[in-house]
Amino acid sequence: MQQVLTRSPEQRLQQIDRARRAVLDESQPPHEALSASWIERSWRRCLSSGLRPEQEVGFDVVPPQLQRHTEEANHSLVQAARPVLEKLGRAIVDTRYFVILTNAQGVVVDVSGAIDRSDHRADAIARIGVDLSERSIGTSAIGAALGELRPVWLHRGEHFFSATSFYSCAGAPLFGPDGRCAGMLDLTGIEAVERPELKHLAAQSACRIENALLLSQPHRLLVRLNWPGHPLGFDADGMVCLDDDGWVVGANQIARQMASQLATPARVHIGDVFGLPYQILFDAVLRQEPTMEVPLWSGLRLNALPMAPADAVNHMEAGVDILGNGNRPLKDVETALIRKAVDDARGNVARAARLLGISRATVYRKLGNGKRH
């Protein structure tokens, strides 16, 4: 990327042209490095699949039945993304770039921004249902973001087909609450000034969409996370949503990077992530506790801010009497929760420990009872 910043626009295009001739015409390694190694890999995939740079590109729309299915399957994604897309479109209105949202297969599900419909090059790609995957339009930020699963930047002739060499685009993948790729966000310009910084804007906006998609999931508790010393309440937070019993129903990518247990596709209980009874998180909401420190089983610690929607608060208040209504110390609340779990398990400490997501030794230590059941 350093080459993108230090070369003049003319030198940059000449560099890309030399790389194209080496790889696409002569099947040789490029004499000069491209802005990213994945571009050459994508070019070679296109060549090996029988595509040629001089071919026409159809920008085909998927069949009507598949388009209806795509719209239904991605309704939540579109709803979560629309406010972000509208603001993003206004932010880049003077740059000659516009916004495209695709699903995980590269099919356009929404667009935003200043799109010149009189320009067939803009209209061709900014249509709901058009297939912009690598197999359809060759190397592009759309296919790359979905294939590489990281933010990318692509300028002019770095696209595979000659017919797409006037586009410049930034792309970032979008991940759903389950951690799987749900689509991608693309910022595209036509014969526009190269702006690699748009890769950061795409990634930041993708994060906001992911958070909105996560919060649209049914949940009883939201836990915002960040490392000690970093403020909570912003887009950079890790976010985990829990059900009534402390099971994780969704998490954003930041949270998955903070706690390795959240990166697994398997169902996870928050007790396997935090080294404390999950009920303490719910109680913190009822008691309007400020930010609390939570231990991870790895030995690291995070700051956590438990939050709940209004209906979750009402739901939890039904069980608040077991803890009392006074401002009791957190240690006393924790002990009360553990004692109740043991009582509910009819004295079976092993079962209570499993329900709480902690070890039996922790139960004994917290209750100050050396007796084994």
How much is the pLDDT for 329?
Answer: 55
Q: Are 95 and 195 in contact (CB under 8 A)?
A: yes
pLDDT band at 263 (very low <50, low <70, confident <90, very high): very high
Q: What is the mean pLDDT of residues 301-328?
A: 60
Q: What is the dihedral of CA 17, 21, 27, 32, to 10 degrees?
A: -40
pTM of the predicted model, to two decimals? 0.80
43-87 residue pLDDT tens: 999 999 999 999 999 999 999 999 999 999 999 999 999 999 999
CB burial of residue 6 (10 Å; 0-12, 13-18, 19+):
exposed
pLDDT band at 331 (very low <50, low <70, confident <90, very high): low
How much of the chain, in percent, has pLDDT values that exceed 90? 67
Place of tokens 């803890």: 323
Rounded distance between C-alpha atoms, residue 260 and residue 341, angstroms: 27
Asked if pLDDT for residue 354 goes beyond 60, the answer is yes
How much of the chain, in percent, has pLDDT values that exceed 70? 88
Asked if pLDDT for residue 290 goes beyond 80, the answer is no
Asked if pLDDT for residue 311 goes beyond 90, the answer is no
128-167 residue pLDDT tens: 999 999 999 999 999 999 999 999 999 999 999 999 999 9
How much is the pLDDT for 352?
Answer: 78
Q: Please report, in angstroms and rounded to a whole number, the separation of the first and last CA atoms in the chain.
A: 63
CA distances from 298 to 77, 243, 287 (A): 33, 23, 28
